[in-house]
A and B are shown apart, each in its own frame.
Chain A
Amino acid sequence: MTDEELVREVQERLALRQSAEARQSLGCLVERQYDWLMRMCLFETSSRELAEECVQQIMLELTKSIGSFSFRSSLKTWLFAIARRTVKRHRKRHYRLLSFFEREQEEFREECARGVDAVFPDGETRRLVSERGRRVLDGVRRLAEAQRQAVFLHYYEDLSIEETARRMGCSASSVKTHLLRARKKLRSWFDEHGEGMEQLL
């Protein structure tokens, strides 16, 4: 059963006021979407707690609005747009809170920019990523939002250019441009930080 078929099932059950069955289908849908959404939120926020909060928020929005989902785009495109918005909002709020309570905003930003260590807080998961992978991830996380998300979907989520475009809600040529610019920036970043590609490759 595809995601869209599952959404239709939820909508039908809601229309028939079968709350228990609708809840069951909704639970199935949430479970299916959890992994990629959590990966995206982790990648974007660099904090497990913040990522969990974001995923919860996204899922609640999904359950609230699923009755009115009109299939103008795919479910994943819709969720991606919600996720992007939610992550942005949570990041802003988190920074504000941090600056208000701890006055350590800059420190937090630096921690976020450390990249892989912030994303993978414990040693066990950190060991899964090689030194080379860490450096690349560091560079990727410094890219502009659209470029970063294109890289995440195309390389880390292993989607084709067309699928990435569909998920981001833009054209394939836009995705190609984002990726090209991202690679160019990464190259200059590696050169600036004395980590030439020759060393990395």
Chain B
Amino acid sequence: MDKTETEKDRRIDQLLRATAPEVRAALTAVSLKSRDRVLASIIDRVEIPQQRRALSPVHLRPVAVPFALAAAVFVLVVLFRSEEQPAVVKLTESTLEQVSEDSSLTAQDFVEMHEEFVADTGSLWEESGTMFAELEQSEEELDPPEFSLTAEEMYDNQTEGVMYGSEDKSNA
């Protein structure tokens, strides 16, 4: 801003400062005229805002009831789910190892369990052996099967089969 511009700006500033008190006084005079009336109407219309009260049990009831119901349903669902039968586990070596790691069973327990199993299967084997022996004995007691074909017929059948077989081979 050059000198003349600064000078003009200063003069406008002076003009504003010089006229400000009278404008302010006139504005105040107008506002004072309606002051009491406006203030009275404002005070009449003032609504004291209600501060939010602390939540008492009565206030909590509408909120608490649905929450309590939801919590009860959740607990019931969890309980029912825990009573369901566990899924069937296919026992493999790895699962057995896992079980031995997870459970309190020791190696000695497994050895004992194995011996019991062997003893059980041994007795089963013995039982099955006696059953087979009984079956053999009963078969022997039965009559030998009756064959309708004679020895010659059987021979013929056998030779025919050989011949057909040789014919097939010669054809091929």
Contacts and interface: CB of A to CB of B under 8 A. Distances in A.
Interface of A: 14-15, 17, 19, 22-23, 26-27, 30-31, 34-35, 38-39, 42-43, 48, 51-52, 55-56, 59-60, 63-64, 66-67, 116, 119-121, 124-126, 128-130, 132-133, 136-137, 140, 151, 155-158, 180, 183-184, 186-187, 197, 200-201
Interface size of B as a range: 35 or more
Contact of B12 (A42, A67, A125, A187): A187
Interface stretch (B34-42, B71-79, B138-146): B34-42
A197 B24 CA distance: 21
B51 A129 contact: no
A133 B22 contact: yes
B17 interface: yes
Contact of B27 (A31, A42, A55, A66): A42
B24 A39 contact: yes
A interface, over-half SS: helix
B45 interface: yes
18 contacts: A17-B51, A27-B43, A27-B46, A31-B39, A34-B38, A51-B31, A60-B45, A64-B49, A66-B49, A125-B30, A126-B26, A128-B25, A136-B23, A155-B16, A157-B24, A158-B20, A183-B12, A201-B15
B45 to A, nearest CB: 6
A124 B29 CA distance: 9
B8 interface: yes
B28 interface: yes
Given A22-B48, A130-B22, A39 B14 contact: no
A48 B34 contact: yes
A200 B22 contact: no
Nearest to A185: B12
B19 interface: yes
A120 B26 contact: yes
Contact of A30 (B14, B27, B43): B43
Contacts of B42: 30, 55-56, 59-60
B13 interface: yes
B11 interface: yes
Given A27-B46, A184-B9, A197-B8, A39 B20 contact: no
